[in-house]
């Protein structure tokens, strides 16, 4: 089977580049296309094949005079030069952070970092009496510990039981199977925003109902939620994903992770909707979707803190 045929079977990869995962679909044929194959036209984003079939050019030029197009190109080049000059003047630690958030390669560094930190803290828990879990999980008892609404994603109980170990391994495996493709299709900034938006939402909801939250569940379901938003206009892919999600939701709820699932899906879907809206709203700045997303989550966290503090005083 040719690479192109394999790509068409797998709806999560570009049909012209089977080694590239993408969430963007051609507005005409509905096939998945990577950034290199996305051609912006007045009718939306289309693939090179559809543009050629309609007699268009694969290098689409914005409507307007040649002078305006040339000026826009020159302005873009100037911005890129200025950006490179600013980056070169930054301290080394800032350049490292920026490279992490805006990757110049295809290595899923964020995914591997999450996995390594989670495994390290789990192993550390066996030697410290579950100290990482005590300080990093989100609970009503310590609802005012703001960091726990994010760090709860990295901790699991250090239990020697076969069931606990199996559940931990399954979570890590799912992370390594799902997250790298998502990270490559988004910027690392968006990937981390989706992951932690789901985690914080699930943690806040759990604390609001008087529970305890920890683990990767919410972050993983957040990635599912964001991906569902991106493929919603494609019925075939959407229905396939909904079936897969339904099965995973039932399994998660059976293991007592209802609010992890609901919170993760809600946080991820909200992030996906805001990022898609930002692409069509010219009045929005690059920071607008992040401010709206984490502003809403901040409200949930504040409610959880108030609930925890009030409960503790009763």
Q: Is the pLDDT score of 124 beyond 80? A: yes
- Whether residue 31 is found in the same domain as residue 111: no
Instruction: Give residue 123's pLDDT.
Output: 95
- Whether residue 128 is found in the same domain as residue 207: yes
Q: Is the pLDDT score of 72 beyond 60? A: yes
Helix/strand/coil for 41: strand
What CATH number is attached to the domain comprising 278?
1.20.1540.10
Most confident residue range from 33-47, 127-141, 179-193, 246-260: 127-141
CA quadruple 111, 116, 119, 124: dihedral sign: negative
Minimum mean pLDDT range among 1-5, 198-202, 213-217: 1-5
Instruction: Show which of 12, 28, 53 is a domain's final residue.
Output: 53
Q: Is the pLDDT score of 148 beyond 70? A: yes
Q: Is 88 domain-assigned? A: no
- Whether residue 41 is found in the same domain as residue 107: no
The mean pLDDT of 24-41, rounded to a whole number, is: 84
pLDDT in tens, 154-179: 999 998 889 889 989 988 998 988 88
How far is Cα 135 from Cα 46, in angstroms, rounded to an integer?
49
Most confident residue range from 15-29, 79-93, 140-154: 140-154
Helix/strand/coil for 137: coil
Closest CA to 225 of 254, 197, 200, 255: 197
Instruction: Show which of 53, 72, 90 is a domain's final residue.
Output: 53
- Whether residue 123 is found in the same domain as residue 42: no
pLDDT in tens, 135-147: 999 999 999 999 9
Q: Is 219 domain-assigned? A: yes
Q: Is 210 domain-assigned? A: yes
Helix/strand/coil for 146: coil
Closest CA to 45 of 68, 17, 11, 22: 22
Q: Is the pLDDT score of 62 beyond 50? A: no
- Whether residue 45 is found in the same domain as residue 162: no
Q: Is the pLDDT score of 31 beyond 80? A: yes
Name the CA radius of gyration of the chain, rounded: 22
Q: Is 94 domain-assigned? A: no
What CA–CA distances, in Å, run from 44 to 29, 30, 33, 234? 12, 12, 13, 15
- Whether residue 153 is found in the same domain as residue 284: yes
What CA–CA distances, in Å, run from 61 to 64, 72, 154? 8, 11, 47
Q: Is 31 domain-assigned? A: yes
Instruction: Give residue 109's pLDDT.
Output: 87
- Whether residue 134 is found in the same domain as residue 268: yes
- Whether residue 120 is found in the same domain as residue 238: yes
Number of domains in the chain: 2
The mean pLDDT of 259-275, rounded to a whole number, is: 89
Instruction: Show which of 34, 53, 72 is a domain's final residue.
Output: 53
Helix/strand/coil for 100: helix
Q: Is the pLDDT score of 3 beyond 50? A: no
pLDDT in tens, 201-215: 999 999 998 889 999
- Whether residue 36 is found in the same domain as residue 108: no
Domain residues for the domain of 112 are: 103-313
Q: Is 86 domain-assigned? A: no
Q: Is the pLDDT score of 185 beyond 90? A: no
Element (H, E) at 45: strand 44-46
The mean pLDDT of 111-130, rounded to a whole number, is: 94
Q: Is 186 domain-assigned? A: yes
How far is Cα 159 from Cα 161, in angstroms, rounded to an integer?
6
Residue 17: CB atoms within 10 A of its CB come to 18
Per cent of the chain over pLDDT 90 is 30
How far is Cα 288 from Cα 229, in angstroms, rounded to an integer?
19
- Whether residue 136 is found in the same domain as residue 35: no
Per cent of the chain over pLDDT 70 is 82
What CA–CA distances, in Å, run from 119 to 55, 102, 168, 169? 54, 25, 9, 9
What pTM does this model have?
A: 0.66
Helical packing angle, 188-208 and 288-313, nearest 10°: 20
- Whether residue 47 is found in the same domain as residue 107: no
Q: Is 82 domain-assigned? A: no
Residue 215 falls in which region: left (phi positive, over 0), alpha (psi -120 to 50) or beta: left
- Whether residue 187 is found in the same domain as residue 292: yes
């Amino acid at each position: 089977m040719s690479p192109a045929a394999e790509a068409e079977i797998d709806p999560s990869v570009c049909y012209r580049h089977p080694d590239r995962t993408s969430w963007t679909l051609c507005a005409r044929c509905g096939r998945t296309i990577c950034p290199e194959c996305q051609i912006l036209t007045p009718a939306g984003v289309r693939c090179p094949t559809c543009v050629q079939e309609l007699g268009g050019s694969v290098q689409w030029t914005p409507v307007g005079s040649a002078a305006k197009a040339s000026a826009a190109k020159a302005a873009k080049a100037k911005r890129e030069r200025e950006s490179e000059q600013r980056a070169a003047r930054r301290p080394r630690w800032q350049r490292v952070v920026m490279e992490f958030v805006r990757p110049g390669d295809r290595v899923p560094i964020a995914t591997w970092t999450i996995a390594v930190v989670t495994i390290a803290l789990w192993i550390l828990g066996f030697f410290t009496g579950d100290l990482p879990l005590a300080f990093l999980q989100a609970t009503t008892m310590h609802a005012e510990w703001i960091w726990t609404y994010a760090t709860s994603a990295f901790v699991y109980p250090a239990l020697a039981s076969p069931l606990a170990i199996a559940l931990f391994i399954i979570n890590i495996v799912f992370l390594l199977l799902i997250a790298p493709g998502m990270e490559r299709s988004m910027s690392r900034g968006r990937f981390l925003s989706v992951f932690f938006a789901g985690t914080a939402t699930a943690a806040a909801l759990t604390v609001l109902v008087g529970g305890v939250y920890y683990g990767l569940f919410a972050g993983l379901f957040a990635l599912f939620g964001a991906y569902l938003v991106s493929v919603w206009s494609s019925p075939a892919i959407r229905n396939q994903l909904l079936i897969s999600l339904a099965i995973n939701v039932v399994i998660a709820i059976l293991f007592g992770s209802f609010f992890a699932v609901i919170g993760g899906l809600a946080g991820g879907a909200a992030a996906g909707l805001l990022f898609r809206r930002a692409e069509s709203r010219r009045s929005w700045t690059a920071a607008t979707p992040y401010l709206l997303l984490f502003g809403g989550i901040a409200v949930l966290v504040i409610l959880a803190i108030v609930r925890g503090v009030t409960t503790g005083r009763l």
